[in-house]
Amino acid sequence: MSLDPDFRHGCVELIHGGGGRAMRRLIDALFLQAFDNPLLRAGDDQACFQVAPGRMVMTTDSHVISPLFFPGGDIGALAVHGTVNDVCMAGAVPLYLSAAFILEEGFPLSDLRRIVLSMAEAAREAGVAIVTGDTKVVERGKGDGVFITTTGVGRLPENVSCSVARVAIGDRILVSGCLGDHGVAILSQRENLEFEADLRSDSQSLHDLVATMIAVDPGLHCMRDPTRGGLAATLNEIAQQAQVGMRLRENAIPVRQEVRAACEFLGLDPLYIANEGKLIAFCAPEQADALLQAMRSHPKGRDAAIIGEVIEDPRCFVRLRTGFGGERVVDWRSGDPLPRIC
């Protein structure tokens, strides 16, 4: 029997994680070819690379998503984008990634190949090299197809220091684009809900947008990508960490019409919906206009907006001036978003 993986009809088997020839051939035929770079090709158990003097940043993230393929992306690209963006949010230049796969016995090799090629493409686009990795296989029923953990390393320019510790009263709050695209695209697939609109995930690496922003304002105070829990969770987290309040203007927050419509239909609030290709930035008020202009000049920041400012508030509330003229608190979400009954 051939041990070469059959990428048309084959499935992941326990033997692919067993440390024997079958595993080696899967790694050679798939991962090495897709991610090909000198460090990976060296074949050692670790990647050895030269670093420039200065500060490095490192982050790690596990990616678990259902469905694995969705409009606008898949778990592979997402695993790259998520970690690259976490590196970028420090104002750093992403350099290297590791990738660990937990595969479920029975998962089609054709789908695995699709995911890995998508990862490779996303890494190339973000200018990072996947230099080390790992593969494990769990028995059928003990996984959810594929889980991917990626760790990212990047280099921080000398004059950059993006941190929640620098968020200050008076800071302006900017978002890079329309909110909720990713979460609604996933939800529409997961729940078999059919929307007429073409909703696609915003999954993308923000390395180039961040570079543009840093060039204009190297003193940028803080950046975060509003992933799980959306804008609301991210701002509440920062408000708590920095012990400040925030005031937002609902009319200024960009949300695509299709996303608003889908959220209306499901009884959800776009402020709480996940994003995978957007960022929130905090900057000194005098930098805000220049930063906004720079963001809007970049394709990934075309719909950027100044959505509010940091205020003094010992209770650390995020408040929203509604388009209707009232004010409300934007609180943390409790549990998963649940659709309304009637």
Partner 1 sequence: MKYIDEFRNGDYAAEVARRIHAEADPERRYRFMEFCGGHTHTLFRYGIPDLLPANVKMIHGPGCPVCVLPMARIDAAIELAVRHQVVLCSYGDMLRVPGAHRTSLQKAKSQGADVRMLYSPADALRIALENPQRQVVFFAIGFETTTPPTAAVLLKAQELKLRNFSVFCNHVLTPPAITGILEPAQQAGERIIEGLVGPGHVSVITGGGAYDSLARRYRTPIVIAGFEPLDILHSILLLVRQCNAGRYDVENQYSRAVTASGNAKAQSMAARTMTLRDSFEWRGLGWMPHSALRIRPEFADYDAERRFELSPSEARENKACECPAVLRGAKAPTDCKLFATVCTPDNPIGACMVSSEGACAAHYSYGHTR
Which residue lies nearer to partner 1 by CB, 28 or 327? 327
Number of residues that bind partner 1 (CB under 8 A): 26
- Work out whether 261 is an interface residue with partner 1 (CB under 8 A): yes
Tell me the window of 117-125, 131-139, 150-158, 326-334 that interacts with partner 1 (CB under 8 A): 326-334
Minimum gap (Å) between residue 303 Cβ and partner 1: 17
Pick from 34, 110, 269, 297 the residue near partner 1 by CB under 8 A: 269
Q: Contact region for partner 1 (CB under 8 A) — 24-32, 91-99, 121-129, 330-338? A: 330-338
Please write down the HEC assignment for all residues of the chain: CCCCCCCCCCECCHHHHCCCHHHHHHHHHHHHHHHCCHHHHCCCCCCCCCCCCCEEEEEEEEECCCCCEECCEEHHHHHHHHHHHHHHCCCCEEEEEEEEEEEECCCEHHHHHHHHHHHHHHHHHHCCEEEEEEEEEECCCCCCCEEEEEEEEEEECCCCCCCHHHCCCCCEEEECCCCCHHHHHHHHHHCCCCCCCCCCCCCCCCHHHHHHHHHHCCCCCEEECCCCCHHHHHHHHHHHHHCCEEEEEHHHCCCCHHHHHHHHHHCCCHHHCCCCCCCEEEECHHHHHHHHHHHHCCHHHCCCEEEEEEECCCCCCEEEECCCCCEEECCCCCCCCCCCCC
* Shortest spacing between CB 121 and partner 1, in angstroms: 35
Write down the least CB distance from residue 321 to partner 1, Å: 8
Contact flag: residue 326 with partner 1 (CB under 8 A): yes
Q: Is 285 a residue that touches partner 1 (CB under 8 A)?
A: no
141 binds partner 1 (CB under 8 A): no
Select the residue interacting with partner 1 from 36, 44, 139, 191 (CB under 8 A).
191
Cβ proximity to partner 1: between 134 and 269 the closer is 269
Binding mask 208-247 for partner 1 (x = CB under 8 A): ----------------------------------------
Residue from 6, 158, 264, 286 touching partner 1 (CB under 8 A): that is 264
Using the rule CB under 8 A, is 331 a contact of partner 1?
yes
- The C-alpha atoms of residue 251 and residue 322 are separated, in whole angstroms, by 7
Minimum separation from the CB atom of position 268 to partner 1 (A): 10
* Contact residues for partner 1, defined by CB under 8 A: 191, 193, 251, 257, 260-261, 264, 267, 269, 315, 322-329, 331, 334-335, 338-342
